[in-house]
C-alpha cells in the first residue's frame, strides 16, 4: 500500500498522461487550484476522503491509486486450498456515535487473517477490515468484532446494505435505506439499545455524504 507521498506522485503522473493541468484536475475533483497545488508540493496532507473523486477524474480505481491492486493480485494467486487470506486492518469504526476514523494512508497499516469463506460469491479486490467500536449494530454485528468490507461507490448503493459512510467529515456504520417518497436517505442502527436513532439526510443535503464500503460479514477473534 502506498504512502501519502506516493499516492500524490502517482496522481501527478496520471494527470500529466491525460494532459490535465493541476487546475483542470482540481476543477474535475471539485477543489480549489490552490489546494491542489499544496497537495502536489507536499505542503498539505493528501485528503483520503476525496480519493474516490480523484479515481473518477483520472479514469482509474481507488485500489490503483492506493496501490492495493498488486497486493490483491498476489493474494488471488495463492493456492486454492488456502483457508485464510490476509487483508489490511485500517483501525476502528464507531458503530454507535459518529467518530473520526484515522486516515487509511498510513505507513503502519496492520493486517488481519480472515477465513476465506467470507468471500464466497464476493470479489476480494480492495477488501479491508475495520474494528467495530460501539453497540448501535449489536443485533447483527457484535461490538469489538471485525467487519469485512468491500469498496462501494455512492452510485451503487442498494437498499438494505450495511455501509461505512461519512457525513460532515465523520464516520459510521449503519444499514442504508433510500426513502424516495420522503426524498431522504436513512442510515439505521440495529441495536438492542433504544437510544440509537436513525441518521436522516435529505436528498438535497448529500454533498458532504461519502460512501466508502459495504460490509459483507463480520469476524470474531476468540483469541482476543
Q: Which backbone phi and psi does 171 adopt, to 5 degrees?
A: -115, 150
The model's confidence at residue 222, banded by pLDDT at 50, 70 and 90, is: low
Helix axes of 33-41 and 22-29: crossing angle, nearest 10 degrees = 120
Q: Which of 44-48, 186-190, 203-207 is predicted least confidently?
A: 44-48
Contact 1, 67 (CB under 8 A): yes
pLDDT at 58 over 50: yes
**Cα–chain center distance at 42:** 23
CA diameter of the chain: 54
Contact 147, 173 (CB under 8 A): yes
Mean pLDDT of 69-94: 64
**What is the predicted pLDDT for the residue at 119?**
80
Mean pLDDT of 4-24: 90
**What is the predicted pLDDT for the residue at 44?**
86
In order of 59, 65, 127, 152, 202, the CA distances from 62 in angstroms are 10, 5, 12, 10, 27
The model's confidence at residue 74, banded by pLDDT at 50, 70 and 90, is: low
pLDDT at 2 over 80: no
The cell for 188 is 439505521
What's the mean pLDDT when you consider all of the chain? 81
Concatenated DSSP letters of 191-208 = -SSTT---EEEEGGG-TT
CA–CA gap between residue 118 and residue 122 (Å, rounded):
8
Tell me the whole-structure pTM to 2 decimals. 0.58
CA–CA gap between residue 56 and residue 35 (Å, rounded):
18
Question: Which CATH architecture is the domain 80-219 placed in?
Answer: Ribbon (2.10)
- Domain ranges (residues) in the chain: 4-66, 80-219
The model's confidence at residue 188, banded by pLDDT at 50, 70 and 90, is: very high
CA–CA gap between residue 120 and residue 114 (Å, rounded):
12
Q: Which residues pair with 173 in a beta bridge?
A: 164
Q: Which of 5-9, 88-92, 209-213 is predicted least confidently?
A: 88-92
pLDDT at 19 over 70: yes
Q: Give percent of the chain above pLDDT 70.
A: 83
Q: Which residue has the higher pLDDT, 174 or 93?
A: 174
pLDDT at 94 over 60: no
Is 80-219 the same fold as 4-66?
no
pLDDT at 114 over 50: yes
pLDDT at 65 over 50: yes
The cell for 114 is 480472515
In order of 29, 156, 167, 203, 211, the CA distances from 207 in angstroms are 13, 16, 9, 9, 11
CA quadruple 37, 41, 38, 110: dihedral positive or negative? Answer: positive
Question: Count of CB atoms within 10 A of residue 56's CB?
Answer: 15
The CATH number of the domain covering residues in 4-66: 1.10.260.40
pLDDT at 72 over 70: no
In order of 89, 94, 99, the CA distances from 132 in angstroms are 11, 6, 12
pLDDT per residue as tens digits for the range 152-184: 877 778 899 999 988 877 778 999 999 999 999
Amino acid at each position: 500500500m502506498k504512502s501519502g507521498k506516493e499516492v500524490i506522485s502517482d496522481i501527478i503522473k496520471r494527470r500529466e498522461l491525460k494532459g490535465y493541468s493541476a487546475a483542470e484536475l482540481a476543477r474535475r475533483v471539485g477543489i480549489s487550484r490552490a489546494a491542489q497545488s499544496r497537495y502536489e508540493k507536499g505542503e498539505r496532507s493528501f485528503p483520503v476522503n476525496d480519493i474516490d473523486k480523484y479515481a473518477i477524474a483520472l479514469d482509474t480505481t481507488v485500489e490503483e491509486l492506493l496501490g492495493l491492486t498488486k497486493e490483491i493480485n498476489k493474494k488471488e494467486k495463492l493456492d486454492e486450498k488456502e483457508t485464510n487470506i490476509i487483508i489490511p486492518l485500517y483501525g476502528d469504526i464507531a458503530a454507535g456515535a459518529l467518530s473520526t476514523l484515522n486516515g487509511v494512508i498510513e505507513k503502519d497499516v496492520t493486517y488481519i487473517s480472515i477465513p476465506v469463506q467470507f468471500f464466497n460469491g464476493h470479489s476480494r479486490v480492495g477488501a479491508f477490515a475495520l474494528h467495530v467500536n460501539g453497540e448501535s449494530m449489536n443485533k447483527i454485528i457484535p461490538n469489538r468484532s471485525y467487519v469485512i468490507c468491500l469498496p462501494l461507490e455512492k452510485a451503487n448503493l442498494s437498499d438494505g446494505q450495511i455501509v461505512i459512510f461519512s457525513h460532515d467529515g465523520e464516520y459510521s456504520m449503519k444499514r442504508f435505506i433510500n426513502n424516495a417518497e420522503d426524498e431522504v436517505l436513512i442510515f439505521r442502527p440495529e441495536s438492542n439499545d433504544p437510544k440509537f436513532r436513525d441518521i436522516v439526510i435529505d436528498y438535497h443535503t448529500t454533498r458532504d455524504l461519502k460512501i466508502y464500503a459495504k460490509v459483507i460479514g463480520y469476524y470474531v477473534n476468540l483469541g482476543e
